[in-house]
Amino acid sequence: MTDQVSTKKQEIVTDSDVSVIILLAENNFFNTTKKYYDMKICGKTSLQWMQNAVGENVNIKKVACTQTADIVSNVKPYLGDKKYTAVLYADTPLLQRKTFLEIMAYVKHKNLSVCKLTRGYVFETEHLKQSEKVYAPQTHYFEEEDFITNYNLKQLSLIEDVMRRRILNYHMKNGVRVIDPASTYVDADVTIAENVVIYPNNNISGECYIEANVTINPNNIIKDSYLLKGSVVTSSVISNSIVGKKSVVGPFADIYQNTVISEDCIVKGNNIIKNSKIEKNVKITTSVLEDCEIGESATIGPNARIRNNARIGENCRIGNFCEVKNSTVGKDTKMSHLSYMGDATVGKDCNIGAGVVFCNYDGKNKNKTLIGDNVFIGSNNSLIAPLEIKTGAFTAAGSTINKPVENGEFAIARAKQENKTREKKD
């Protein structure tokens, strides 16, 4: 284009003066059940990319046709009263907004009644209404990369590569460091702030928001999620979730289904976290969390499981090989080793010893255990629900507790030890 034509862009017809018809040309070379124009390219279908190109406010009319169909007879029934009609094809999703504006500026500046493109046409609508066939001896060339045609899966792969490169170039221009563009996949609806570093082998899709100074180490899949300022993720899957400021996730974490991880958390080593809320300064190691809440500065794992609406209080510790189900655990309570808690409410500053089992199921019903503040539950206890152990109580190691324990009481429930002389064998 000449400089003169470029300066005429401001004279272009507005979106209200142009109508767009997209031809859905028949194609049998894909050998797939899904139509080529419904296949997503970097997160958007061909028709969505075409909408971006012609303008969000332009009403597109979609017309099915064969590859050899007569243009005039196909589009005449759909002509409106706008001054210009652009007839484009759904198999050119690389068309950009700037190219479309250049085309329209050129048509107006040259006062053309018809402009044949590499793939498609622009008409003066009144001219097209009066025509029986298209007469356009000259093809007008613009940004030819925009007209690469999607006619089979090999071409689709090429188009996706071009689109992916455009997206990455945009982000790199705006201060995002992409270490290896060839192995980095970022969808169109991903928003990335400046000073983000993306290492190789990452796939970021859907509506993601990545704030400044985030580090995305190798081998992540991130979809429809927020990574807040200064967070770090490594070799993990993060879907429909939020990773808070300066939090570290991975390697090998699976975070999904509306999980919210607050700031300054460490989530490392083969964690699975589903639909859970993690408050700030929490440390989680090699554990499974589902439908739960973890309070500030708590420590979880390694190899813990927390599920079914469990609520773990501030500064608690749920240690190795412990499970908490449908229970509330108060502030500063510790359950460090090899224990199961189900259907319980436990107060603050309690100690649950190793090998403790909250026996909540009687074969028919799930029963509740209530434990007050400052309670010490000795190792290898069986707490048979329904049961209440009140504030300040102490249960001895090896006990089976099935009766209430009052405030400050000491409970011991185990068989008396007897020591007998061993008989020597001849």
Q: Which residues have a catalytic role annotated? A: 337
User: What are the angstrom distances between the C-alpha of 298 and each of 234, 273, 285, 293, 406?
Assistant: 22, 15, 12, 11, 29
User: What are the angstrom distances between the C-alpha of 86 and each of 21, 59, 80?
Assistant: 6, 12, 11
For residues 313 and 330, is the Cβ–Cβ distance under 8 A? yes
- Non-local (6+) Cβ contacts of 202 within 8 A are 183, 184, 185, 216, 218, 219, 220, 221, 222
**Token code pair at residue 140:** 């007008």
CA distance 289 to 69: 58
DSSP 163: H
DSSP 25: E
Q: What are phi and psi of 17, to 5 degrees?
A: -105, 5
For residues 159 and 151, is the Cβ–Cβ distance under 8 A? no
Beta bridge partners of residue 122, listed in sequence order: 86, 115
Burial pattern 343-356, b for ≥16 Cβ within 10 A else e, equals bbebbbbbbbbbbb
* C-alpha Rg value of the chain to the nearest Å: 33
- Non-local (6+) Cβ contacts of 111 within 8 A are none
For residues 8 and 53, is the Cβ–Cβ distance under 8 A? no
**Token code pair at residue 318:** 């749920």
Residue 85: strand, helix, or coil = strand
